[in-house]
Amino acid sequence: MAQATMYFPDDFLWGTATSSHQVEGNNENNDWWQWEQQEGTILEGGRSGRACNWWENAEADLDLAAEMGNNAHRLSLEWSRIEPEPSVFDDAALGRYREILQALHDRGMQPMVTLHHFSNPVWLVEKGDFSVEIVVDYFRRYAEHVVDSLGDLVAQWVTINEPMVYVVARYLEGAFPAPKQRGWGVVPRVLNHLLRCHVAAYEAIKARYPQAPAGVAKNLIVFQPAPPGRGSPLNAWWAARISSLFNDWWMEAMHTGRLRRPLGSGQLRGLQGSFDFVGINYYTRRYCRFGKLYESDWGEDAIVSDGNYGEVYPDGLFQVIKQSLRYGKPIYITENGVPDAADRLRPAFLLSHLREIWRAVSFNWPVMGYYHWSLIDNFEWERGWTQRFGLVELDPESQQRRWRPSGRLYAEICKSFSISSDMAERYAPELMPVLFPG
């Protein structure tokens, strides 16, 4: 067949995403570092250690991103480096972040900067972290100091990464570092404080850089009822309920300014409209069985990633984009990726998920950019080093890097602003009938 091509807009942002604790290394002053030292907390006893050594040499990996044709990158700041003790701000740490942000500009990449990506200073945890009201003042002060110091180099801001994942994993499941208070009783209070922290950061950004877009990176999961024969007839109701609480509650709160029961109630000052874009972190769908949050029984025909992390379900990305149109804002895919050490799934994963974005763009839906998770293998939280999301492979012991085929594919896509049948034929021929029928 003649070559066929799906084209993306000339101003589309092509990037990758990282977070501070996962790549910087030796973040000894945060709760995750302490958590890793406890036996049984991280899969296979993994520890972040040097991670990807970004604190000393981020520029080397940014060279890889530039070689990959990226014109944007999403990274996070480590609060525990910037404010190692209450009211003590480290100018050297802020200076290092300025160097990294300038390195992005020097390589033709727009920085999207996240203020909070799961990790907390030890001193904050000792004071009660997000379960105590004082955290709002602490976060406001931190955000103001960061924006004053770095704002001239930041193109876009993310205030908080995956707030609902953070709350579920930390306060309910115990998969993240355990706070002093846990359980459903504390969740509404924590969410209230997180929302107020978001507002404080949003206002700090807008007071100093009114034109700088700011929002959150919201993990969106497609929740569907478990198939017939697997559990209660209430599965469909349960799936809708879980989706409403996990996917919609936070976004609707920012949109309307009002908190809905059972996770809160009432209006929050400054919350309504406090986002300039919708940041979507999308990975998979989950089946729901009545009485359980979700299950991992994917079905016989499902394509499942390493460690049973999730089903490869590209149509779900189109679904969550469509649902996000209700907010009337530009949309960025702030994370999307698959754990796949052998790179057996990732080329097809990239092509199939980017096709869903191309479909959305073809409808003139305002999808403005895509940040693949991740540029390089990194420390994957409670899963340690057992899951590899990188377009570039990392040996954490030797710190050696090696391009995966999916990285080469992504480079071709980024540089051409397109997906072609030739790419599909070379990297994932099994997808040809789906991507380019006929």
Secondary structure, 3-state, 231-287: CCCCHHHHHHHHHHHHHHHHHHHHHHCEECCCCCCEECCCCCCCCCCEEEECCCEEE
Q: Are 397 and 52 in contact (CB under 8 A)?
A: no
pLDDT surpassing 80 at residue 126: yes
As its CATH architecture, domain 13-345+353-403 has Alpha-Beta Barrel (3.20)
The whole-angstrom separation of Cα 291 and Cα 174 is: 19
- Per-residue pLDDT at 229: 63
Confidence at 354, pLDDT banded by 50, 70, 90:
very high
Q: Where are the domains of the chain?
A: 13-345+353-403
Mean pLDDT of 379-384: 98
pLDDT at 309: 83
- Percentage of residues in the chain having pLDDT higher than 70: 98
- pLDDT the model gives residue 231: 65
Sign, CA torsion 375/379/380/386 = positive
Q: How confident is the model at residue 296 (pLDDT cuts 50, 70, 90)?
A: low
The chain-wide mean pLDDT, for the chain, equals 96
- Mean pLDDT over 356-378 rounds to 98
Task: Tally Cβ neighbours within 10 Å of residue 80.
Answer: 26
pLDDT for the residue 300: 72
Band of the pLDDT at 182, cuts 50, 70, 90?
very high
Least reliable range by pLDDT among 46-55, 65-74, 296-305, 390-399: 296-305
Amino acid at 317: L
Across 330-344, average pLDDT: 98
- Read off the pLDDT of each residue in 174-199 and give the average, rounded to a whole number: 95
